[in-house]
């Protein structure tokens, strides 16, 4: 079960999560190094939400994408905003993927592994639907590697929640059980637009969309906003956010 009710959050999801594509430019470079661009078949976007990353993959590489999303509200929001024709929105669970075997050229899992109750079952299903040699690309913030997540400076309670997410070792172990091996672990940076004052508005919009913020008490959240507003008033620049790209391939 997801940590957030994404049917409830679907209407406001993009307010907090969508960014201009240039913010993710370093991801474009890294994905180009790992995606099998010359292969056939779609990229499987596991837990695709409103299709933010599916849309980016089409824009960057022209590849077809299957956007797998369990929440009906998120699928409806994705359809409503009009994704490219190369994106197929599919309802389904990562532990029972409704696709035929060996049908996908790669799997992309962005900030989703902490929502999956049985990561081993997910890994087995991903292995089933991937073509031989196809990579699994996981974008996440792993416990012990939160040093470049500015949000946790302002909202330490959010960092506390994130420390309960699957670690690198736990994730690798789950996928190893399905026959995958670690290829690389890479830090990728995102430079968000705007000022810290803009962050105040964005964080307020994302509170019940972000699984690290959703469980905070009102007092914790307001204390974080106060800290963020003070930093904005002092003219501090927007710091880059550093997330991890975990790459696995069949052993």
Overall average pLDDT of the 79-103 stretch: 96
Task: Say if residues 173 and 67 touch (Cβ distance below 8 Å).
Answer: no
Q: Locate 173 and state its tokens.
A: 């172990």
Residue 139 confidence (pLDDT) above 50: yes
Q: Could you tell me if residue 233 is inside a domain?
A: no
The string of pLDDT tens digits covering residues 229-244 is: 999 999 999 999 999 9
Using the structure block, give the residue that is written with the tokens 């359809």.
Answer: 79
Concatenate the DSSP letters of all residues of 159-171 into one string: HHHHTTSPPHHHH
The reported pLDDT for the residue numbered 1 is 45
Task: Say if residues 45 and 89 touch (Cβ distance below 8 Å).
Answer: no
The string of pLDDT tens digits covering residues 42-64 is: 999 999 999 999 999 999 999 99
Q: Could you tell me if residue 18 is inside a domain?
A: yes
Overall average pLDDT of the 22-47 stretch: 95
Residue 251 confidence (pLDDT) above 70: yes
Residue 164 CB-density burial (10 A; 0-12 exposed, 13-18 middle, 19+ buried)? exposed
**Mean per-residue pLDDT over the chain, rounded:** 93
**In b/e form, how buried is each residue of 12-21, taking b as 16+ CB within 10 angstroms?**
ebbebbebee
Domain region containing 35: 6-149+164-193+240-250
Q: Could you tell me if residue 15 is inside a domain?
A: yes
Task: Say if residues 99 and 122 touch (Cβ distance below 8 Å).
Answer: no
CATH number at residue 77: 3.40.50.150
- CA 70, CA 94: separation in Å to the nearest integer? 8
- CA 242, CA 186: separation in Å to the nearest integer? 10
Q: Could you tell me if residue 57 is inside a domain?
A: yes
Q: Could you tell me if residue 203 is inside a domain?
A: no
Q: Could you tell me if residue 222 is inside a domain?
A: no
- CA 125, CA 41: separation in Å to the nearest integer? 17
The 10 Å Cβ neighbour count of residue 138 is: 25
Q: Phi and psi at residue 14, in whole multiples of 5°?
A: -70, -25
Candidates 165, 2, 184, 5; CA nearest to 95 is 2
**What is the number of structural domains in the chain?**
1
* CA 232 to chain CA centroid, nearest Å: 27
Q: Could you tell me if residue 103 is inside a domain?
A: yes
Task: Say if residues 53 and 108 touch (Cβ distance below 8 Å).
Answer: yes
Q: Could you tell me if residue 72 is inside a domain?
A: yes
Beta-strand relationship, 241-250 and 180-190: antiparallel
Instruction: Tell me 238's DSSP state.
Output: P
């Amino acid at each position: 079960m997801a940590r957030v009710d994404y049917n409830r959050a679907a209407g406001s999801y993009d307010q907090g999560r969508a960014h201009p594509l240039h913010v993710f430019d370093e991801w474009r470079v890294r994905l180009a190094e790992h995606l099998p661009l010359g292969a056939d078949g779609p990229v499987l976007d596991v837990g695709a939400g409103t299709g933010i990353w599916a849309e980016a993959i089409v824009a960057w590489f022209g590849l077809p994408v299957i956007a797998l999303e369990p929440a009906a509200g998120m699928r409806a929001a994705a359809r409503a905003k009009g994704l490219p024709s190369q994106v197929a929105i599919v309802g389904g669970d990562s532990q029972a993927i409704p696709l035929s075997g060996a049908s996908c050229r790669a799997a992309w899992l962005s900030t989703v592994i902490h929502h999956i109750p049985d990561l081993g079952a997910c890994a087995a299903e991903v292995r089933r639907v991937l073509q031989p040699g196809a990579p699994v690309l996981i974008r996440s913030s792993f416990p012990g590697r939160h040093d470049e997540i500015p949000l946790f400076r302002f909202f330490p309670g959010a960092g506390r929640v994130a420390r309960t997410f699957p670690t690198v070792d736990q994730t690798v172990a789950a996928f190893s059980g399905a026959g995958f091996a670690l290829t690389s672990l890479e830090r990728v940076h995102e430079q968000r637009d705007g000022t810290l004052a803009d962050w105040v508005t964005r964080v307020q919009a994302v509170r019940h969309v972000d699984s690290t913020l959703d469980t905070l008490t009102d007092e914790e959240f307001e204390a974080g906003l106060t800290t963020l507003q003070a930093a904005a008033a002092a003219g501090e620049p927007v710091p880059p956010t550093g997330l991890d790209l975990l790459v696995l391939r069949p052993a």
